[in-house]
Homo-oligomer: A and B are copies of this chain.
């Protein structure tokens, strides 16, 4: 980070929670859990390599992830992330766009400096994930505008937006460690499921979760009129509550909090919450089944299983 332009170093370090907006040691930041970097290192370990070979991949994946977070906040005009003001809201949109770009550039550069055939393959993986994140966010933009899509299309969006980088993380770790193709494929399949479970769990949490845990204002997706899995599942439920929800949504815009609470209740009655929880549950089980089929040391499998559960439930 120190080799960026000082204004971008400031903005990126603020984003990572290393310092406050004026560069003072940060008091209020929740440090990043570096989940994706952890996935890279666990995958390398599972494939029998030391962490060392996979560190450039872990760095690259984490930088790319934070690139997408900073740009995502610009796109969504979100003011808060992890209970702290977002980069664009502190430093302005121009600096946030450039800070995100600089992280993406640094991510790719870091990995491109490793001179092995494995690193080149990892680089193709990470640039593929980079493209899929863009596609997922573009699809998500339509949902934010309230577009009605099929549940499958929603899951396709989530596979790009959320799963791609998780699958890339284990892929990069395994590839850098010289793992066999079956191990690479199974790890990636597990993380694709993990991403879908996480997205579904997040959608539930946004409506019915504790704002102190999410770090976001309560009911923010509903407030923005955004389509998420519980809403989409409720709308196609063909239930009285689902139809009442559709009628409500038609006269959307500028809902008060009581309205939002009523909408959340209609989603529950129409089975939307249960449907989303079911997706989260089923995908987590599917991810764990992939893990079980892996030919890796038991300790590795257990570490993955615990991490997956933590990611989806946010409780260790």
Contacts and interface: CB of A to CB of B under 8 A. Distances in A.
Nearest to A113: B124
Interface in A77-129: 93-95, 97-98, 100-102, 104-106, 108-109, 112-113, 115, 117, 120, 123-124, 127-128
A260 interface: no
B127 A109 contact: yes
Contact of A74 (B4, B67, B97, B108): B97
Contact of A141 (B7, B128, B137): B7
A257 interface: no
Contacts of A150: none
A1 to B, nearest CB: 11
Contacts of A3: 131
A75 interface: yes
Contact of A4 (B8, B75, B97, B131): B131
B75 A93 contact: yes
A216 interface: no
Contacts of A314: none
Contacts of A74: 93-94, 97
A135 interface: yes
A5 interface: yes
A123 B107 CA distance: 12
A4 B132 CA distance: 8
Contacts of A67: 101
A219 B3 CA distance: 34
A109 B64 CA distance: 14
B142 A130 contact: no
A101, A123, A133 — which one has the most chain B CB atoms within 10 A of its CB?
A: A101
A109 B130 CA distance: 9
A60 to B, nearest CB: 11
A134 interface: yes
A139 interface: yes
Interface in A119-166: 120, 123-124, 127-128, 130-131, 133-135, 137-139, 141-142
6 contacts: A4-B135, A93-B93, A98-B138, A101-B104, A104-B104, A112-B120
